[in-house]
Structure formats: structure tokens, C-alpha cells
A = this chain, B = another copy of it.
Amino acid sequence: MKKHNFSAGPCILPEEVLQKASEAILNFNDDDLSLLEISHRSKPFVDVMENARCLALELLGLENKGYKALFLHGGASTQFLMVAYNLLNKKAAYLNTGTWSSKAIKEAKLFGDSIEVASSKDKGFSYIPKGYEMPKGVDYFHCTSNNTIYGTQMKSFPKTSVSMICDMSSDIFSRQLDFSKFDLIYAGAQKNMGPAGTTLVVIKEDILGKVERQIPSMLNYQVHLEKESMFNTPPVFPVYVSMLTLEWLKKLGGIEFIEKVNNQKASLLYTEIDRNPLFKGYANKEDRSIMNATFNLVDNKLQATFDTMWKEAHINGLNGHRSVGGYRASMYNALPLYSVQALVDVMQELERKG
């Protein structure tokens, strides 16, 4: 029996995507070759890359608006430095909402001033800072839309004339936003998009070419744009699985559809966390993430019992991040509502026992 997979990432992918991916390993495109052993310059793979790039823009509503999509190597961690390498002239503004923002700030410091406009570190990153001022003369403002570790999510973004850059690794394609507010969006694939090993970068072309420094080819957005995301051998399989997942999402009804399902799932779980006297939520209520719900037992003595119970219920990946402990239920696009119900059932069962 397939497990209820609440893993924070790499995470659950749609069953039909896994099925197709598994078949492509043996025989791709009915061409008597594995997807893994064909040239990335062959038409079947060039089509995959093109399709994946188009689907990303289409689902985000960014077609014909001056944006291009790239599937690059390296994870969001590589984007922390690429953003600064390509765009940071003198100073940039960063909102610090946790581990990932902090890492982005650290890398940016190698290339210029990175000004922390606000931070929620004072309360263990359990909330999203608001009402901060945007410094003048910055090259860009950088934020992380969703923090997987603390279970917080930005519900609104600053109104500013400054170029906005957003790490959407853990909530891209999960909710409707006016994505055209952002000049650059990046997202590691391994949450709502695909397996680990590729990163989507959606970029407004006219923001490039404004720094003086020389940029190594593999770190240069312009180089990747000119080569249509094929400057070097791309991570073929992760790009293919991302394409399959984006196709699946489009077929379902796109972000508009999946957002409703995501809201249902989150509502079901948060209602139980708030109702059940044995549990308490970690994140500030108004900043709670629809993707990652973080919560704790009120009485830690119940931990062993609860852990046994959810594991017996075929639930996987419920432990909190190693840096914060407690529990974390990640409810990415591909997680079915019945998996959340299975978790809620266990929480209620614990209450009856406790």
C-alpha cells in the first residue's frame, strides 16, 4: 500500500507522473531507447525541454509578458549566488524569514551590500515581518514566499517600484498570485514540480545586463537564455519529470483548481490542530503556510505513542526539520485530501486514547 507521504521535499509526486517516468526509463517515446541514454540534442528531448519551459510560463500566466523560463542545474542554493552574481551592483534588500532567506543573504554579501529589511528571527521565524520600509537605491528586493521549516508563508508582497525577486521553491504552482509583479522567480523542482536535480528560473529578460562584473558562463542567465536552457547537457530526467508534473497540473485545471484543493487540505489539518487540545500550531496563525503545517504536542510525553500511531497508519515524513523538531505536515499539490484525513484521524485517535 502506498504511503501517505508528508515529506517536505523531495516529496510526493502524482502517481501517473511516476508511472510515466518509470516507463520512460525503459523505453522513451516508443523509440526503443531509454530516456536516460538519448542525446539531449535529439528532437524528442529538445521537445521535452521546450514543452516544460512553455508550460511553466503558461501556468504562471506569464506568456508574452517579456519572461523566459529556464531549467537549470544546481538547486535553489545555486540561485542564491546566481541572483547576486547577475543582478547585485551595489546593494540589495532582503527579507529574512528563516533558513533559506538567511542563506541567500549570506551568498549575496560576497557581491555587495545585502540589507536585511526585516527579520522574524526574534521569534524563531514563526511569523512573516510586515510594515518594513524599502531602502532607497537598491538593485532588488529578495524574499522567500514560503518557509518549509517554520511553516510560514507570505500572503502579500510589498508594494514597491523596486525589482522583486522571489524564491518560490516550496509553494510555486500552489496558489494564484500576480506573478508579473516579480522580475525573477526561482524554485527548486523537488516540491510541487518534480524530483530533485533541476531548478526553474523565470526571468524578465530586461533586468539583465546591468552589472559590470564578468560572470562565469554556467552562472550567467544571459548565456542560458541564449542557448534556450541547453548551454550544457541539462539534467534530462528531472526536467522530463517536471514537464510531466506540469502537464498533470494543466490537465487538472491549473493553479486555480489546485489552490482550492490545497486550501481544503490545509483547512482540514489546521482546524484539527486548533481544536485538538493535545496539539498546538507553531507558526503565527495569519502567516500559516498552506503547504507546510508545523505543530507540536502540548505534552511531549505523548511523543512515542503518537509516532507509533502515525507510522502504523502508513504515514511518512511527519517529523519536523532537524533544526526545530516537532511535527511538519507538508501538503504539496500531489498529496490527496484523504492523506490529510488519515493524519487527522490519527490525531483524533490519540485524543481518545490520551
In chain A, positions 257-316 with a C-beta closer than 8 Å to chain B are 314, 316
Interface residues of A in 309-354 (CB under 8 A from B): 314, 316-317, 322
Q: How far apart are the CA atoms of A322 and B42 in the complex, in Å?
A: 12
| Chain B residue contacts of A207, Cβ below 8 A | none
Quick one: which of A189-223 are within 8 Å of B by CB?
A: 190, 194-198, 214, 216-219
In the assembled complex, how far is the CB of residue A342 from the closest CB belonging to chain B, in whole angstroms?
A: 14
- Which of chain B's residues have a CB closer than 8 A to the CB of A11? 37
A36→B29 CA distance, assembly (Å)? 21
Bound together, the chains give a CA A257 to CA B89 distance in angstroms of 54
User: Are B7 and A34 neighbours in the complex by a CB distance under 8 Å?
Assistant: no
Q: Roughly how many angstroms separate A217 CA and B85 CA in the complex, as a whole number? A: 13
- Nearest Cβ on chain B to A220's Cβ, whole angstroms: 10
Contacts of A1 on B, CB cut-off 8 Å? 32
Residue in chain B with minimal CB distance to A231: B77
What DSSP secondary structure best describes chain A's contact surface?
loop
A residues contacting the other copy or chain, number (CB 8 A): 66
Residues on the B chain within 8 Å of A197, using CB: 73, 197-198, 234-238
- Which residue of B is nearest A7, CB measured? B39
Bound together, the chains give a CA A218 to CA B199 distance in angstroms of: 14
Closest B residue to A232 using CB positions: B77
Using a CB–CB distance below 8 Å, which chain A residues touch chain B?
Answer: 1-3, 5, 7-13, 18-19, 21-23, 25-26, 31-34, 36-41, 73-78, 80-81, 85, 103, 106-107, 110, 188, 190, 194-198, 214, 216-219, 231-238, 241, 314, 316-317, 322
